């Protein structure tokens, strides 16, 4: 399903049995089973078979299931896709996406696998992980390259390396990429996700980064530790005052629409019909975050 909450996308090494077996207790919105960077070269086969069996036997309680396959330029990608599709994966995350061609290549294998394993054609979504300057430049074309595209994300590790700079706490080196990606995603009508935060002990730094990317318009963030999940969900949850303003907006618009008035003031703030969508989104997010106590 292309539209759903994806505030947290938790990476899991598919080869690690102890992590895979009950990751759902941490309640991320999505789980990304990693067959790529986390898995040693000589264990790619093992991770893939482990993924397939996990998908077939474990009840992940409605959490979205994503696989990060190896790049299409490696000998592993095709079999990764076959195993994941046969297992019923919801989305395929393509690493190091630079051009729409990378998406087409993945799509071709995905469709083949859907046919082979009797999955409804087109059901499997695609995410493009953008990790280089060329990818950033091509972000909009990548984002609209396929009907299967569900989102794009920025992968800071490889990106900063290819940009010939380093990661800093404030993240100024990511500013351009973050802005361009979120603009591209919105223009293409898909979601946008921020990169992982590796300093697990630095809670304050993490909170600041999550607040920043939320303000930039990102839909969610990649997660590498269960500890990060409640923090992201809390930052993304609308505050009670935001919820109240949204409720007032919705109710007032409903009232005034009957009277034929298009613009008016509530609590000293100008309200017009353009704000309805945002208000509805706030209420939906509040409900999904479990903080909505009203009756809309």
Partner 1 sequence: MINKVGRDIPDEFLVNGREVFQGENYFHNKNYTKASPTVRANVDPKQEKVVPSLKEAIEKCELKDGMTISFHHHFRDGDYVVNMVVETIAEMGIKDITICASSVGDAHEPTVKHIESGVITGLSTSGIRGKIGEAVSKGLLKNVAFIRSHGGRVRAIEAGDIHIDVAFIGAPTSDAYGNARGKGGKSDCGVLSYSMVDAKYADKVVVITDCLVDFPNFPPSIQQVDVDYVVQVDEIGNPKKIANSVLRFTEDPRDLIIAEAAAQVLVNTPYFKDGFSFQTGGGGPSLAVTRFLRPYMEKQNIKMGFAIGGITKPMLDLLNDDFIRIIVDAQDFDLPSIESVNSHPRHFEISTSQYANPFNKGSFVNKLDFGILAALEIDTDFNVNVITGSDDGILRGAPGGHVDIAAGAKCSILVTPLLRTRIPTIREKVTTVTTPGESVDVVVTEVGIAINPKRQDLLEALQNIKLPLPLRTIEELKNEAYAIAGAPEEIEFEDKVVALVEYRDGTIIDVVRKIKNSD
Partner 2 sequence: MILTKSAIAGTLESSDVQITIEPNHNGIELFISSIVMGQYGKQIKDVVIKTLEKLGVENAKITVVDKGALDCTIKARVECAVFRAADITENLPWGEKL
Is residue 225 part of the contact set for partner 1 (CB under 8 A)? yes
- With CB under 8 A as the rule, give the number of residues binding partner 2: 21
Is residue 49 part of the contact set for partner 2 (CB under 8 A)? yes
What residue 123 binds from partner 1, partner 2, none (CB within 5 to 8 A, per partner kind)? Answer: none
Kindly tell me which of 1 and 25 has the beta carbon lying closer to partner 1.
25
As measured in angstroms, the least distance from the Cβ of 287 to partner 1 is 12
Is residue 116 part of the contact set for partner 1 (CB under 8 A)? no
Residues 3-7: contacts with CB within 8 Å, 24+ apart?
Answer: 4/29, 4/64, 5/29, 5/220, 5/285, 5/288, 6/30, 6/64, 6/151, 6/191, 6/193, 6/219, 6/220, 7/219, 7/220, 7/221, 7/232, 7/233, 7/236
As measured in angstroms, the least distance from the Cβ of 53 to partner 2 is 4
Among 53, 162, 180, 225, which residue sits at the site for partner 2 (rule: CB under 8 A)? 53
As measured in angstroms, the least distance from the Cβ of 223 to partner 1 is 11
Is residue 22 part of the contact set for partner 1 (CB under 8 A)? yes
Is residue 52 part of the contact set for partner 2 (CB under 8 A)? yes
Is residue 40 part of the contact set for partner 2 (CB under 8 A)? no
Tally of CB atoms within 10 A around 185: 26
Segment lying near partner 2 (by CB under 8 A), choices 10-18, 157-165, 233-241, 242-250: 10-18
Q: Which two tokens stand for residue 8?
A: 């947290």
Among 226, 242, 252, 296, which residue sits at the site for partner 1 (rule: CB under 8 A)? 226
Is residue 53 part of the contact set for partner 1 (CB under 8 A)? no
What residue 25 binds from partner 2, partner 1, none (CB within 5 to 8 A, per partner kind)? Answer: partner 1
Residue 94: which residues within 8 A CB-CB, separation 6 or more? Answer: 69, 71, 72, 102, 103, 106, 126, 127, 128, 129
Q: Using CA atoms, how far apart are residues 143 and 114, in angstroms rounded to an integer?
A: 22
Is residue 90 part of the contact set for partner 2 (CB under 8 A)? no
Kindly tell me which of 5 and 252 has the beta carbon lying closer to partner 1.
5
Is residue 56 part of the contact set for partner 1 (CB under 8 A)? no
Kindly tell me which of 148 and 233 has the beta carbon lying closer to partner 1.
233
Kindly tell me which of 162 and 225 has the beta carbon lying closer to partner 1.
225
Is residue 244 part of the contact set for partner 1 (CB under 8 A)? no
Q: Using CA atoms, how far apart are residues 155 and 66, in angstroms rounded to an integer?
A: 16
Identify the sign of the CA torsion 90, 288, 225, 232.
positive
Is residue 25 part of the contact set for partner 1 (CB under 8 A)? yes
Give the residue among 23, 156, 36, 22 at the shortest CA–CA distance from 93. 36
Kindly tell me which of 35 and 235 has the beta carbon lying closer to partner 1.
235
Positions touching partner 1 (CB under 8 A) are: 21-22, 25-26, 58-59, 225-227, 290
């Amino acid at each position: 399903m292309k539209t759903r909450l994806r505030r947290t996308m938790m990476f899991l090494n598919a080869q690690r049995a102890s992590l895979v077996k009950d990751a759902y207790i941490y309640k991320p919105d999505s789980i990304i089973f990693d067959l790529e960077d986390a898995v040693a070269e000589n264990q790619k086969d093992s991770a893939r078979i482990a993924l397939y069996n996990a998908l077939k036997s474990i009840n992940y309680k409605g959490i979205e299931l994503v696989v990060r396959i190896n790049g299409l330029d490696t000998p592993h990608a095709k079999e990764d896709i076959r195993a994941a599709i046969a297992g019923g994966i919801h989305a395929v995350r393509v690493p190091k996406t630079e051009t729409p061609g990378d998406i087409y290549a993945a799509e071709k294998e995905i469709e083949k696998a859907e046919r082979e394993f009797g999955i409804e054609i087109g059901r499997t979504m695609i995410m493009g992980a953008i990790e280089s300057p060329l990818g950033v430049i091509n972000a909009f074309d990548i984002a609209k390259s396929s009907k299967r595209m569900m989102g794009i994300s920025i992968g800071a590790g490889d990106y900063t390396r290819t940009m010939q700079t380093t990661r800093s706490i404030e993240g100024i080196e990511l500013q351009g990429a973050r802005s361009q990606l979120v603009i591209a995603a919105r223009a293409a009508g898909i979601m946008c996700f921020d990169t992982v935060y590796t300093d697990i002990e630095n809670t304050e730094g993490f909170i600041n980064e999550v607040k920043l990317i939320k303000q930039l318009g990102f839909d969610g963030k990649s997660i590498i530790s269960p500890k990060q999940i409640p923090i992201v969900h809390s930052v993304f949850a609308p505050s009670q005052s935001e919820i109240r303003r949204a409720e007032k907006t919705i109710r007032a618009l409903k009232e005034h629409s009957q009277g034929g008035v298009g613009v008016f003031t509530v609590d000293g703030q100008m309200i017009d019909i353009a704000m309805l969508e945002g208000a509805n989104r706030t209420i939906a997010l509040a409900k999904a975050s479990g903080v909505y106590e009203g009756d809309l």
